[in-house]
Amino acid sequence: MSEQTLHAEIAEQPQVVARLLEREEAAARALAREVHERDLELVVIAARGTSDHAAVYLRYLLETLAGLPVSLAAPSVYTLYHGTPRLRRALVIGISQSGQSEDIRAVIQEGRRQGASTVAITNDPDSPLARSADWVLFLHAGQEQSIPATKTYLAELTMGALLAGALGEQPELIRALRLLPVDLERVLAREDDLAAAAAAHSAMERCLVLGRGYNYATAYELALKLKEMAYVSAEPYAVPDFLHGPIVIVEEGYPILLVAPNDRTLPNLHGVALATRDKGGTVIALCDSPELAQIAHTAVAIPSGRHEALSPLGYAIAGQLFAFHLARANQLDPSAPRGLGKVTNTR
């Protein structure tokens, strides 16, 4: 593997999304019919690592667009404590690009034992997780060789949006999804600007990453990518949580990376940018607002897209490219984080 391989996998993401949408929309609609027919009232999602960030995004989608309350499972309840939460009336979803994690599979197996509807979202339809579930939603991402997850993460987000659109009967979201590959190409076209922003902050060793709403998950994923690719000690927060305490650590020159599409969360991000500047912090903004760009020390204009629920996909790509070029600016190999393997099997 090499940084060229990682870069190619980032660039491939519009094609991955298009392929998934073409091949899995019928399966998502069929699963939605079963959920409605069984009158399921709860969703339980199990995931780890990058996939856990996709699970957080799916939680926002299902609760806002489909009216389904979502619980993010604690897999250790099943594997370490041998707990058996009542799942019979739930849709139980396991998300894992490899499908190898035993603790994620344990949640699916317990759900199936109780008679719940179980779903595996995975890039390997022959994996142990896939074999444990009633339904398999295949990511169609192709082999991902680089250790940092890029195209498999985008595929997980796409699958989540597709499923939420079907469950919530959201035709506008589905229409926007079908045009998403074109929108993602527009984000990839901002690579030179993202590389310049990374070069301007190549000395960064720590930062906070802030987002809200649908992009709460994006803040977590970008912080992970900064750690994995560039070894930056990056900590993610939702804007309200940041204001409830962590803002006190902001001092002269402390970098704050904002995930700020032009949607209903923008006033919050605008306010945080002002508060950060007042404390002497450095504001780096991935945004779609000229007003916010004027406040920021560094801003890269990233299109928000056609539907606010889909902005995390474009902003995830922007964050991947920023982390990639930050690593390169420091002569690091972003494709092979030290001490990590491609598959982490947890119990």
Nearest C-alpha neighbor of 237 from the set 219, 218, 213: 219
**Ordered alpha helix ranges (H), 141-231:** 151-167, 171-178, 180-188, 191-200, 216-230
Q: Are strands 117-122 and 90-96 parallel, antiparallel or unpaired?
A: parallel
Cα four-point dihedral sign 128, 131, 133, 136: positive
Do 136 and 126 contact (CB within 8 A), yes or no?
no
Residue with tokens 């780096």: 284
The full DSSP string for 78-131 is HHTS------TTEEEEEEESSS--HHHHHHHHHHHHTT-EEEEEES-TTSHHHH
Question: Is residue 99 a contact partner of residue 198, using CB atoms and an 8 Å limit?
Answer: no
CB 230 within 8 A of CB 327: yes
Q: Which one from 151, 225, 227, 342 is the annotated catalytic residue?
A: 342
- Burial of 232-266, coded b for 16+ CB within 10 Å and e otherwise, reads bebbbbbbeebeeeebeebeeebbbbbbbbbbebb
Helix axes 49-65, 216-230, angle to 10 degrees: 170
CB 281 within 8 A of CB 256: yes
Give the rounded distance of the alpha carbon of 52 from its chain centre: 8
Q: Which long-range contacts (CB under 8 A, 24 or more apart) does 293-298 make?
A: 295/270, 296/258, 298/197, 298/200, 298/201
Q: 342 catalytic, yes or no? A: yes
Known catalytic residues?
342
